[in-house]
Amino acid sequence: MTKRTMKRKDRRESRVPPPTMKRIEWALFGLFCLIVLSLQVLLYRHAGSFWRDETSTIQVAGSPSFASMWASLSWDSFPGLFVSLLRIWILAGPGATDAGIRLFGSLIALGGVASVLVSFREMTRSVPLVALSLIAMNDTIFYFGSSIRAYGLAVLLIVPCFAAFWKVSQSPTRLNILAASVLALLTVHCSYQNCFLLFGIGIAGVGVCVLCRLWRRSLLILAICFTAALSMLVYLPAIRNYRVLALIPTMASDWSSIFRSLAQSLAGTSTSLLVVWAVVLSSALILLPYRHHEERRSQPSSPTPSLSLFSLIAIVVGAVSELIFFRANMMTPRIWQFAPLIALAAVVVEIGLGFSTSTAWRSAGKAALACVIVGVSVIPAWHASQRRRTNLDLVSDALAREAGPDDLIIVTSFWLSPGFNYLYRGKAEWNVLPMIPSDRGSRIAFGAHIKKILATDRVIEPTLEKIGKTLRTGHRVWYVVVPNNNAPWLTQFGQFLRDHATQGRQISIPVEQPVSDLENTSLFFVEGWR
């Protein structure tokens, strides 16, 4: 054997990771899963009760009938899949208690890990260490993906949907077509944001097939996407009604505010993690066209669909579509709305950096990078696992004990109305500021009533009259305050209490752990009249 032949043999062998490297990959995957499981258990134990968005979803799922639940979808901000599954979970028995409902969210979050693994095993037969670390350890996905909202399920579905469409573009067997069709339907019926990501995935599938002159496959992918889009027409009444009920006004949103929200969803307050994301994502986007070019060079006569190009088109079209939607609707998105996009970006990073291809040096690099990502992510995730989602349940319990039947409770932020409606079990009358009708539907879908009140000249005068009557008759007025509430009528409310109440104080609400800034409320009362 000549020296040249020996060198070629050594190079070929270096492309295949030794069994030891594969065992290390699986060992790290198991370790990461154990870390994620441990953190999810801690979050389950420390999450406490449900915050306002969760209670809205739970109350919609708990409607008297399926028909009334479907009619109530406009009270929430998701299509029907998640609330339907939650309703089944509740009626089947495991969700009969708050702890059981909380378990539902935790199981979905853990299911996302299995979703990532199965998707990559189907696409590339590789162990997705980097994708797993970027998804499961992401603070936004970790904390909000396990909440009783559809974000965790949206993450769980978008990754295998990406894999299924790639399988169809590569090999349109009946099983692959069925899997892509079912996952496309489930994906869009889980989250409206996923519609934009499915649009990107569909365009990617069509694009790679057209470049290879696979016309029938491209039409097949278009048909799957069109069917999924057509199925969304059932939500037109709910969307129209939601536009009436929704209180979120058109805001002076700009690209900078949208990208700040995106950056926060990627890394929270961790600068090092944001740098990691910037490096790996930009590197992947740069390397994907190069990898596609190399794949085409190796197949000059009979090109096949390129996974690199498929990934590049999917993330670019999907992300741009979603961002344009937010900008066109003048919305500054909440960080949790980016959870499915983060998951898709993590998949693209794994593929773009070449870690889906098994070679010795890439396996070592994948393991090292995954360890770095987990190292910089575990501390923020640890802190998040100790964070209570709300203390409104503790405030509600205190009011149930202390407030008399003739007292009045004012929740100064109408956003808290669904949560307080779900949590409060006392005898005292309560309402929000400004006051709305006291039926269940109004307290969950409060937007239309608030809009009508805001359109009048007497925004909070009826509320102040009710407060004055309560104080004059010798009873107390309790009020719940949430941070960062900048409603203009709060000043008038506070001035009224200072002018007329003779005394008052804050009620201590003991809590032994951090509480989410989104719903860390305070409780006060006033009494007397002058």
Q: Which single residue is written with the structure tokens 């509740």?
A: 90
**Residues pairing with 478 in the sheet:** 409, 525
Helices (H), 390-446: 392-402, 417-423, 440-444
Of the listed ranges 400-404, 452-456, 491-495, the least confidently predicted one is 452-456
Q: How confident is the model over 189-198, as pLDDT tens digits?
A: 999 999 999 9
Q: Phi and psi dihedrals of 429, rounded to 5?
A: -70, 145
Of the listed ranges 312-316, 403-407, 448-452, 459-463, the least confidently predicted one is 448-452
SS (H, E, C) 233-248: HHHHHHHHHHHHHCCC
User: Does residue 377 contact residue 277 with C-beta atoms inside 8 Å?
Assistant: no
Q: Can you state the percent helix, strand and coil of the chain, rounding each to 5? A: 70, 5, 25
Q: What is the pLDDT of residue 301?
A: 66
- Of the two residues 365 and 457, the one the predictor is more confident about is 365
CA 460 to chain centre: 34
Q: What is the pLDDT of residue 356?
A: 63
Q: What is the pLDDT of residue 357?
A: 63
Q: What is the pLDDT of residue 243?
A: 67
Question: Distance between CA 127 and CA 117 in Å, rounded?
Answer: 7
Q: Which of 79, 50, 65 is nearest to 420 (CA)?
A: 50
Query: Which CA distances in Å does 406 have to 179, 358, 376, 478, 522?
Result: 59, 71, 53, 11, 21
User: Does residue 162 contact residue 194 with C-beta atoms inside 8 Å?
Assistant: no
Query: Which CA distances in Å does 387 have to 120, 175, 340, 391, 432?
Result: 32, 43, 22, 11, 26
Q: How confident is the model over 235-252, as pLDDT tens digits?
A: 988 877 776 666 554 445
- Give the Cα-Cα-Cα angle 252, 238, 177 (nearest 5 degrees): 100
Q: Is 434 helix (H, G, I), strand (E, B) or coil?
A: coil
Can you list the pairs that 304-307 forms with residues at least 24 positions away whose Cβ atoms lie under 8 Å?
304/170, 304/212, 305/166, 305/169, 305/170, 305/208, 305/209, 305/211, 305/212, 305/214, 306/208, 306/211, 307/123, 307/124, 307/166, 307/351, 307/356
Q: Given phi > 0 = left and psi -120 to 50 = alpha, else beta, which region is 302?
A: beta
Q: What is the pLDDT of residue 484?
A: 79
Q: Is 253 helix (H, G, I), strand (E, B) or coil?
A: coil
User: Does residue 421 contact residue 435 with C-beta atoms inside 8 Å?
Assistant: no
User: Does residue 405 contact residue 473 with C-beta atoms inside 8 Å?
Assistant: no
Q: Which of 505, 492, 484, 442 is nearest to 462 (CA)?
A: 492
State the pairing for strand pair 522-527/503-507: antiparallel
Handedness of CA 451, 455, 459, 463 (dihedral sign): negative
User: Does residue 135 contact residue 155 with C-beta atoms inside 8 Å?
Assistant: yes
Q: How confident is the model over 162-187, as pLDDT tens digits?
A: 999 999 999 999 999 999 999 999 99
With b for 16 or more beta-carbon neighbours within 10 A and e for fewer, the 248-287 pattern comes to eeeeebeeebbeebbebbbbbebeebbebbeebbeebbeb
State the pairing for strand pair 429-432/503-507: unpaired
Q: What is the pLDDT of residue 448?
A: 72
Question: Distance between CA 188 and CA 196 in Å, rounded?
Answer: 9
- Of the two residues 364 and 516, the one the predictor is more confident about is 516
- Give the Cα-Cα-Cα angle 258, 264, 268 (nearest 5 degrees): 170
Tokens of 342: 């983060």
Of the listed ranges 98-102, 245-249, 346-350, 483-487, the least confidently predicted one is 245-249
Handedness of CA 107, 396, 56, 325 (dihedral sign): negative
Q: What is the pLDDT of residue 239?
A: 79
The whole-number average pLDDT for the span 247-263 is 74
What does the mean pLDDT of the chain come to? 89
Largest Cα–Cα separation, the chain: 105
Write down the pTM of the prediction.
Answer: 0.91
